[in-house]
Amino acid sequence: MVLGTGHSRVEGPAKVTGTAVYASDPPPPGTGGRVAHAALVTSAIARGRITGFDLSGVRDAPGLLAVFTHREFAGAIAPVRHLMAGGYVNSAHRPLDSAAIAYAGQIVALVVAETAEIAEAAALAVRVSYEEEPAAGGFDSPGAETVRLAVLKDRHADVRLGDADAALAASPHRVEARYETPIQHHNPIELFTTRCAWEGDRLTVHEPTRFVGAVQHGLAAQLGLDPAKVRVVSGLIGGHFGAKFALSQHTALVALAARRLGRPVSLVPTRRQCFTIATYRPETRHDIRLAADAQGRLTALVHEAEVVTSRFDPFAMEGADVTASLYACPAIRTEERAVRVDRNTPGPMRAPPELPYLFALESAMDEMAWQLGLDPIDLRRRNDTATDPVSGKPFTSRPLMACFEAGAAAFGWARRPPRPGALREGPWRVGLGCAASVRPVKIAAATLRVRLAADGAAEVAAAQHEIGNGITTLLAMGAADWLGVPVAGVRVRLGDTALPPAGISGGSSTTTSLMNALALGCGQVRGRLAAAATAPGAPLAGRAPQGLRLWEGALVAPDGARLPLAEAVRLIDPEAVETLAEFVPRGGKPDALQALREGHIGLTLADDALSWAFGAQFAEVHVHSETGEIRVPRLTGAFAAGQVLNPLTALSQLKGGMIWGLGSALLEETVLDGAAYRNPDLAEYLVPTCADAETVEAVLVPDPDARVNPLGVKGLGELGVIGVNAAIANAVYHATGRRRRSLPIRIEDMIA
């Protein structure tokens, strides 16, 4: 078996030698006509109207092809709903539809020219005049509208269990505090590019996306096209952090420009524009109230949360369902609210709700441990539960404390003195902190084609995407194991709507969904070969077909009889056996496959039990006693995520997430000035680098879970980032006695 062993990425050599094809790479020379280049003009104001364009500096530019504004494009794009509301887009805002300005940095013109340089220069020379109105930028801005999440999203339900407020009032041990997390922006190396080309009434879009089906169907709906005539191709994705998840605002503009000009058009927005034409993680704030008895058992939990969203979409992250179900507690009340402001719609950023929501809860748990004089791991052990306190449903597995134990051993938690400010190394104050990571398992319907040729060549094809998570490698490993061929003999094709439909590469659901589909497809191939080989008069006649397996290029019977693959395949077809696997998870809707074909998101959560992946994060923090500089010399994480199919790529992904979590704790923040972003570039938007991440260690904790899905896989794409921010904040407290409840924690927080 190759699955379960560490295998390096099959696309790795191509990536590191520069031959890998990314979605944004230009087309090979001589294909598809001469590409014209587009550039964007974006709004300088946050709310109001465009009163005019001055194109005098632009018109005569040699090589300029067109300037498109709402005067040209109004009414050209039909409204389509948000992906999370049954539609396809990441924002219902339609640029160039009218003179109205809904947010700062919205697209107000698309300039097209023979070269990108001419287009960019012309875009800079377009002068736009506005009539400005006051805009609400964020929490507490005049004009911001606060709504209960249950009003915005009809399926949302706040939790009400027992009388949490009365239990709080009666409790001797209480933590009541507000925790805040900032705006963050997805800053993948690969920008949010699009290239559109028409051939007659057929449109081909090259765009880095985690959901080619949504781009295909959304664009068809926006432009009134037959979806069968829209092909979306996404090569390897150069990073996403949760962006690139649905149809973007700019795609239809590029398609329209290409149609009007009769040429392919390519758009590479600037880094700065990517802060406003796409999504972001919105700022959040959490009022947490925790009560416990003298034995450290929680008696009440109240979690009131507010997240920012736009005025035009019902998108808001929900996370209090997770914080409410994490620990045993008899009285729980949650209330989630969205605050609607004059900004673009936010979007999912890896571990969309868990990253901010668990920062709040896991910081509060640490505060409670100090108050009770308990070790923070011990406090969590006293409140561990095998069933969801809210619904009473069981967890399919619950290795949270196993993660804390494994992590504590690997990290050396035992040397932590139970007193803040007790550890020093020269001028550095040293602190150790920990926090939980949890993430509900999501799974989706998936289809996939498996082809096994007589010469042993195998091919696996699905519209799913290689987002850097290693799914190409996993598919090759799985096909190798289940078809009895070498990994190098498996060709994997992904990221194209011409292939069998697949859902979003999101919610950490790719492995759970696609690998179960692959197991099904390979089983179908094996079944057909076994049936043909054991038919009366066939070479393995008389054996039970279920007993046959594919192994090292042959069908092998339990009695040792072998039929070479080439002969077995030729019993069915001279060239190859091919099958389409259609996987529907337990709890999936009956129309799940149809929804998949129509580009709908279709992520499913188990409904008879809670299936979660778990982790425990540990951080060692050094705070310089004079300069306030904060270093994190060590991060250790222990994770339980069901069956791990490739420990090498899994551990890489977990460690990458942990480093990103360090960014959440200490670095990442988009600064709001009014309703505009003030640091939209990589010079001033800080992300962790190698020099910030010193020793990062992840360990895997066994988590056999036969109920979660046939392969027992939980997915861990987002597990690594969760809880690191709280572990670091908790370690900062241990080092200094200073509790920081607002992220990121900066030098200035340490020296005041």
Three-state DSSP state, 83:
helix
Closest C-alpha among 719, 705, 726 to residue 662 = 726
CB of 186 to ligand MOS, least distance (A): 9
- Applying CB under 6 A, which residues contact ligand MOS? 242, 348-350, 352, 506-507, 718
DSSP assignment letter at 535: S
Is the C-alpha dihedral spanning 113, 116, 120, 125 positive or negative?
A: negative
Q: Which residue has the tokens 């020296």?
A: 751
Cβ–Cβ < 8 Å for 433, 733: yes
| Paired tokens of 43 | 């709004």
Q: Which residue has the tokens 């399919």?
A: 396
Q: What is the amino acid identity at position 301?
A: L
CB of 249 to ligand MOS, least distance (A): 19
CB of 752 to ligand MOS, least distance (A): 35
Q: Cβ closer to ligand MOS: 158 or 718? A: 718
Q: Cβ closer to ligand MOS: 431 or 715? A: 715
Q: Cβ closer to ligand MOS: 347 or 389? A: 347
How far is CA 314 from each of CA 156, 317, 325, 409, 534, rounded to the nearest angstrom? 11, 10, 24, 44, 57
Closest C-alpha among 379, 428, 343, 282 to residue 143 = 343
| HSE-CB of 491 using CA atoms within 13 angstroms | 8
Q: Cβ closer to ligand MOS: 444 or 700? A: 444
CB of 719 to ligand MOS, least distance (A): 11
Chain centre to alpha carbon of residue 745: 24
Rounded distance, CA 578 to CA 46, Å?
54
Q: Cβ closer to ligand MOS: 296 or 352? A: 352
Q: Cβ closer to ligand MOS: 489 or 602? A: 602
Q: Cβ closer to ligand MOS: 359 or 411? A: 359
Three-state DSSP state, 183:
strand
Q: What is the amino acid identity at position 267?
A: L
CB of 390 to ligand MOS, least distance (A): 22
Three-state DSSP state, 261:
helix
Q: Cβ closer to ligand MOS: 389 or 507? A: 507
Q: Cβ closer to ligand MOS: 64 or 349? A: 349
Q: What share of the chain is helix, strand, coil (3-state, %, to 5)?
A: 30, 25, 45
Counts of helices then strands in the chain (DSSP H, E): 19, 32
CB of 718 to ligand MOS, least distance (A): 6
Computed on alpha carbons and rounded to an integer, the radius of gyration of the chain in Å comes to 27
Element containing residue 440 per DSSP (H, E) = strand 428-440
Q: What is the amino acid identity at position 448?
A: L
Which residues 6+ apart lie within 8 Å of 409 measured at CB?
Answer: none
CB of 323 to ligand MOS, least distance (A): 17
| HSE-CB of 87 using CA atoms within 13 angstroms | 20
Closest C-alpha among 418, 379, 352, 396 to residue 721 = 352
Pick the catalytic residue from 120, 582, 668, 718. Answer: 718
Closest C-alpha among 588, 580, 717, 584 to residue 645 = 717
CB of 88 to ligand MOS, least distance (A): 16
Dihedrals phi, psi of 625, to nearest 5 degrees = -70, -20
CB of 576 to ligand MOS, least distance (A): 34
Closest C-alpha among 435, 389, 378, 169 to residue 291 = 169
Active site (annotated) includes residue 718: yes
Catalytic residues: 718
